[in-house]
């Protein structure tokens, strides 16, 4: 009888423990803008991993606007006092949400997962507010890639360039052979993407940091910046008349089809070549934008977590943050998206050649100081400053504005925006 009673007590205790554990299972409402095929597939993996741990995922996908539409929804929800549990936010916007005092502290998860050891400091710093983790990084995109069609270069008798002098020489031959040297997307963020890569190449890592991260007026209105703008003006001589308003993927298609020789675009462009059934090395190649081999402009997607009172929701947030940084999700998501894991020490095996090159460069530049946040892709400066730079660059690309005057305007507009 005593043994039977002991068994009953044990069963009862286990039921109580199970009940407590289940009571901590919660729901996360996740706002994001990953709605394309590969992205949606990757998000589904995270949802599945979270649900295996007993939590519930409420999807709040907002398509369009490169995240702009999602940010509009997020702000309206926050103003109404009803923010989602987690939201895709990146760069200095993390600091802005931190200023509002609404973000959950993720230090417990970060310490348990050794995030400080697994992330380069420059990436970890972006994820912190006043020294505390408030965001979890998902991936790393390299911005300063040049995608080229080797057959077009062969037909034109030109060499794929590694310097801007070589670029100009090759572009002249390509144009003379009847091809478009540069596939150009005439949208402000695309123009800014090329501009910032030129600033990195011509000015170097320290100048890039002063000009496009610190927004130093002396750097923005300098002889070096004038040289950067002169280089941009030279590149603009080799685009086609139909470039204004062109989407980035349509520009990539021009390279795929052999109409254009090259495109300056982040590593997401690789997905277009893969989708078209093209083979790396034979049908396309990828090199750093001329003169940027020592630097790496990065764009990191991340999630912030909002303060919630419900214990279950808090546990679900912690689980989500932990799972995002674990190898399973880091591998699946980044193989699908064309980016690389933000977590150091991951196996290269599942990734293709451009991604492996990106891996190596990511690690090397993290040690040398060449790993730098992208201004064009919302990692370096606050939105108002970024908007001011965009306005000047777009005006420069679509007018005859002199380089020295554009440099002065950059300094003036940025100062007004700060």
pLDDT in tens, 397-407: 999 999 999 99
The confidence score (pLDDT) of residue 21 equals: 43
* 142-298+369-417 has CATH 3.40.190.10 classification: yes
**Fold equal for 28-140+299-357 and 142-298+369-417:** yes
Q: 14 or 62: whose pLDDT is higher?
A: 62
Q: In angstroms, rounded to a whole number, what is the distance separating the alpha carbons of residues 313 and 123?
A: 26
Q: For residue 24, what pLDDT is reported?
A: 67
Query: What's the pLDDT at 33?
Result: 86
CA distance 85 to 316: 9
- The 10 Å Cβ neighbour count of residue 376 is 25
Summarised one tens digit per residue, pLDDT across range 265-314 is 998 888 888 888 999 999 999 999 999 999 999 999 999 999 999 999 99
Token reading at 112: 């348990």
Q: How confident is the model at residue 65 (pLDDT cuts 50, 70, 90)?
A: low
Half-sphere CA count of 175, side-chain side, radius 13 A: 15
> What pTM, to 2 d.p., does this model score?
0.84
pLDDT score of 275 = 80
Q: Is residue 335 very low, low, confident or very high in pLDDT (cuts 50, 70, 90)?
A: confident
pLDDT at 13: 42
6: pLDDT strictly greater than 70:
no
Q: Is the pLDDT of residue 5 over 70?
A: no
What does the domain layout of the chain look like in residue ranges?
A: 28-140+299-357, 142-298+369-417
For residues 36-53, average pLDDT: 85
* Contacts (Cβ under 8 Å, ≥6 apart) of 277: none
Q: Would you state the pLDDT for residue 332? A: 87
From the list 115, 109, 66, 120, the residue with the least C-alpha distance to 88 is 66
Strand partners, 288: 145
Contact (CB, 8 A) for 138 and 342: yes
63 or 416: whose pLDDT is higher?
416
Sign for the CA dihedral angle at 31, 33, 36, 37 comes to negative
What distance in Å separates the CA atoms of residue 310 and residue 27, rounded to the nearest whole number? 9
Q: What percent of the chain has pLDDT over 90?
A: 73
Mind spelling out the 3-state secondary structure of 202-237? HHHHHHHHHHHHCCCHHHHCCHHHHHHHHHHHHHHC
pLDDT score, position 398: 94
Domain 28-140+299-357 adopts which CATH fold?
D-Maltodextrin-Binding Protein; domain 2 (3.40.190)
Q: Are 62 and 33 in contact (CB under 8 A)?
A: yes
Q: What does the mean pLDDT of the chain come to?
A: 90
DSSP summary character for residue 61: E
- Position 4 pLDDT exceeds 80: no
pLDDT at 70: 87
Percentage of the chain lying above the pLDDT 70 cut: 93
Mean pLDDT, residues 365-382: 92
Q: How far is CA 302 from the centre of its chain?
A: 9
Lowest mean pLDDT among 25-29, 276-280, 293-297, 336-340: 336-340
| CA distance to 9, 10, 109, 311, 316, per residue, from 85 (Å) | 38, 37, 16, 12, 9
For residue range 187-210, list pLDDT tens digits in order: 999 999 999 999 999 999 999 999
The band of 223, judged by pLDDT with boundaries at 50, 70 and 90, is: very high
> So what's the pLDDT on residue 66?
64
Residues 12-41, mean pLDDT to the nearest whole number: 66
């Amino acid at each position: 009888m005593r043994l039977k009673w002991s068994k009953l007590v044990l069963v009862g205790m286990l039921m109580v423990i199970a009940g407590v554990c289940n009571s901590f299972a919660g729901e996360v409402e996740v706002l994001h803008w990953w709605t394309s095929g590969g992205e949606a597939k990757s998000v589904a993996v995270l949802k599945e991993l979270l649900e295996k741990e007993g939590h519930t995922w409420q999807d709040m996908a907002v398509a369009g606007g490169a995240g702009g539409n999602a940010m509009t929804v997020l702000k309206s929800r926050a103003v109404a006092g009803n923010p989602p549990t987690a939201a895709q936010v990146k760069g200095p916007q993390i600091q802005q949400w931190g200023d509002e005092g609404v973000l959950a502290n993720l230090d417990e998860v970060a310490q348990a997962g050794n995030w400080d050891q697994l992330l380069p400091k420059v990436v970890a710093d972006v994820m912190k507010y006043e020294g505390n983790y408030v965001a979890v990084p998902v991936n790393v995109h390299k911005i300063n890639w040049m995608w080229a069609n080797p057959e077009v270069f062969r037909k034109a008798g030109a060499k794929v360039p590694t310097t801007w002098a070589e670029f100009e020489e090759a572009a002249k031959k390509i144009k003379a052979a009847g091809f478009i040297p540069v596939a150009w997307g005439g949208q402000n963020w695309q123009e800014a993407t090329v501009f910032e890569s030129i600033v990195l190449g011509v000015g170097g890592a320290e100048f890039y940091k002063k000009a496009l991260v610190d927004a130093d007026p002396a750097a923005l209105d300098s002889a070096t910046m004038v040289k950067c703008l002169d280089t941009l003006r030279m590149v603009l001589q080799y685009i086609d008349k139909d470039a204004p308003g062109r989407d980035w993927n349509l520009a990539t298609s021009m390279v795929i089809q052999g109409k254009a020789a090259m495109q300056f675009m982040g590593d997401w462009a690789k997905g277009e070549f893969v989708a078209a059934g093209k083979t790396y090395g034979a049908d396309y190649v990828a090199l750093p934008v001329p003169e940027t081999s020592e630097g790496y402009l990065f764009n990191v997607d991340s999630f912030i977590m909002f303060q919630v009172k419900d214990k279950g929701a808090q546990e679900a947030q912690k689980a989500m943050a932990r799972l995002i940084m674990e190898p399973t999700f880091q591998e699946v998501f980044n193989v699908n998206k064309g980016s690389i894991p933000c977590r150091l020490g991951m196996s290269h095996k599942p990734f293709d050649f451009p991604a492996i090159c990106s891996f190596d460069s990511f690690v090397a530049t993290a040690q040398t100081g060449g790993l730098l946040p992208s201004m064009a892709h919302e990692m370096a400066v606050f939105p108002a400053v970024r908007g001011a730079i965009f306005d000047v660059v777009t005006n420069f690309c679509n007018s005859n504005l002199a380089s020295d005057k554009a440099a002065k305007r950059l300094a003036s507009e940025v100062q007004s925006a700060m």
